Structure 1
């Protein structure tokens, strides 16, 4: 066989061997392996179940860039595993602050004692030194109350020399540490009176001796200093070590070391952590052809090379096929788990109940109301944060585009109580059947995910609140537009109260929950969890909820919500349209922060036209404005029984608008359609069902939501 063929086969064996070996894992499975630029090997770890015990816990701070040894709150600079070939113990480099003799050295930077007692850590005698900077002061390093070592820096004159080797003269001295130091403190004994700032510290010997001279003036600016700790595991620890590892260590140390065997590298504290090292990557290791094998290698020449190459090719192909099989098996198991999880979520979120409604002969909910999680994930780019329209107490809303190109708003609800699943499905069924031009339409839902997903039509032009109160709005809102919006809201509420198949109480009417479509038509939004009561009860008893400035005072006192509570909230919105003022404002401190109270007081004092918006005064007739204001005042009556029903409110607004246009203002095609639709809605209802549904809390379809 020619040399060129042998070289090609050898290259193939090397590539297959490299492909079959994964990089050794240093951390436990599913645990972070790095914090910033520091590798975190087990028994150290970040997060629960990722470290051996509290002494090995690492906390990753400052956006996952700063590792802290949590037990002693010291910054970690580096962690290394025991190295069999170099005969070194496991080491961890940390930042330890200096200890100052008094506060004149830096105010609150006076350091304190450091203790490792109870751990499997010691301050390394090999790698560290104890140093002191000052003049004619004895620095004594104590451990558990007894003197260990001391250091006395001297000054040739009265000051510290700026540049000098730390040799005991010129203001700096250093000395070695004892063998198994686990804690220390420093005492200072001045000789010859107060000597000013004195400080002492431990430091890595290689860092401290990085140059022949040290700027002693700037030395304390390096505080804290890098210090090396040697670490291991307790001698009585019951460890399931890797098969290719061994343990041992210095019997005088308070810990045991684990090493990967010769020819292996990685983490010996993990099962499978020690993996074969390919010595053949070093081209100088063999005079002939190098063939790697577990834990070792062979140098071969001549015909033996072919045999080893063929064995290597066979082993490599076998390993490759095994990896391929395991990968396919993993993908299959993962897919089955996802299917089972979707089925579990579907059942928990009420999917079976909804399916029963869909399959019943009398059910009239379209099957297209059920979306699958894959399509909605694709529509929202897997719920990318850039797609978020708004967030609130009930969930997060995303903007999405379905496969047919339709733009929708998708609400990702929070986890619902399993005891309320039937109510949740009831809400979906009811809302999907509401069909009114001024009510945001529910298009469907998805129950395969951990939390339910609701799909609504997308409304592009924000909220009435923004339209009224945005200081950047260049074009003022005309009186005709305000009157039309008020009529549309009133018509929608009348439809919900009296003309829908099942009467609905909204429970959170406010300008933030009135959306404006591309033609600035009003859309009532914010339908949440429903409650059903028999019609003859006339109210819903709930925990008081709502938005300050809009809540019916009668409901606030009694916790009994009625259709007249919606009327009160609408009255506040009507006053907003008249005055252009916010429902709660600290600017009205003297008159009252509540817009409703401020408006009623102004009406009673005959000062209505003092608070009406300038655009309304400019375009509207005073009798029209007065009629709308009197209607708003009736809606805001503190006694709910004296408030008009929404049917009467809608009819009065329609009448005012008809009189307005009869006096000379021409209706455009859209306004004529709106007026005709309300005329149809306002016909007497012939039948009402025996349930009342009250909705609140979520705002799932705002382009710019205010939660």
Structure 2
């Protein structure tokens, strides 16, 4: 330890009070909306304010001044204000640092008295140093710092001594533990302080401490403990004092100096500061009489303003309830609800089994089940029979039976629900061959023949009333390019349709199938498209009354054992209305194929099917899907991309490469023009399905015999675009194929059948 030889250490502390007469605080008032609430980067929240009648009386007035750079900064009580906390009832200010710097020439064995720094306040001031958040801090070598306070006659004197070893250069940055820096607590309720700083030099065994370092500095200040970090460079430089122009952050508690809550609440209409209806009063803990306000639990905001405390939606702030519970916000709080059979335990915030409820419900349920079992079974059988009879009647089953009796040659069967369940092994999931928005399709066996059984999702009231009549019409459709409707089941809520089974997948799978090595020839796709057009033409022109498909797409064009096209899913279509002013209540179909005119008018016509077929022609030409969910927005819609290419006379940019290699320019241009006409925005300008089928037949002949259409003016570029003649084409009777390694046609592997939309 350092021991001075012939000197006495005398520390003189001068304590003074600057008392300002306290006036009674007038009644609080709501600040004007024109009051300034921002100074620089600091938000000035009430009860603090800038200007006349903008702050609560009693020392909360803030001034906004500009520094040398013209930047505005707030000040209160002569100290720069850093921030305000309503929740903690604190402010942060910059507190002056007591500084003393010296050098090697200072005489040894001499006491050096530093300057004294005061924080002078009114005894009725709302501010007190926070004894929790502040520390009295001393920095320097062999430095003694003392802090004194005289609060209401209660004197306080404390300090600490900072010591440096012989080798100052070996000192390292560390916590403030006495080596180069020391800290001590301050008393509760300290409203001002006097600081005395002393440096002791002189012992021969420590005189080398200062040698070679030139100027050294010592500091003492009441500062925020969390904001302070000791550095050894503070001893040999003025760095600590220079950080904020000789100031360090300190935390001041504040409160309303109108007595305790008990006293203040007697004058609710007067000077009582807790103005929000959802606020609470708390006695101040800063060491003197006063109180503070906070929002009640479940509220947040400013308790010093009317309606300042707003309800907090705890359910949107994390998960206050258990993971398996449900949170419901209430005014000023929230409630947790648990699933049935569990109850909320607030102690550990979990949902636990409600054993009492569970036992009671279980016993009651078992008793009820035993008592009602036999009666229920009898009633259920009777009810089921009546329900089936009612469904049968609603769906026109009686009319259907009478017609079938009178027309004995009608090849249509009404199946029972039990027959269809048996045919599908009770609708086993392994029997599913297709799913869509309108239903699920199962493969079944009825009377030794494979069939496709479609369970529709729903039908509207109009279809319920006319279902039997429509089944009669659809059952009479007999065309090689339309899937045959074998029968139906009417004794269920939503009728079940039974079609002939088509084994070899869909046109969609031919065009977009994953096995690119088995790419279908263009002439084959053209044949399938023509056959589909023939089927749709029959529905539009030869069925009586005409039938509108409503969901024409490649996924609804099936391929039979000879790979002939079969139009499917017309069973969920509508008969063409005799009244042209009839409209559908909801637009149905597949995105990418929907007619824009149909979407706009909600009136389905035969030209709506024509538009959808135009999209199919684009798939044949380009090999692309109608709508992409990725890539550039301009190329996501196949229709828009194609029409733009036609307009810019750049058809070759969208046509698939294998098409340009296989077919002539004239054929490609003819098919593109046909697709363009089908996609006309005005339905009346589009061709009929009959005209489309005729044009496709003509184009097929051009595909089979391309040399017939060649002229002497054909250019070499056209020949290259057309490519070699397609040798893989086969007639309808011989099926379809692709050219193998030896030039012979190889069969395409069947793919899973798909019926549902």
Between 1 and 2, higher relative CO (CA 8 Å, sep ≥ 6) is seen in 1
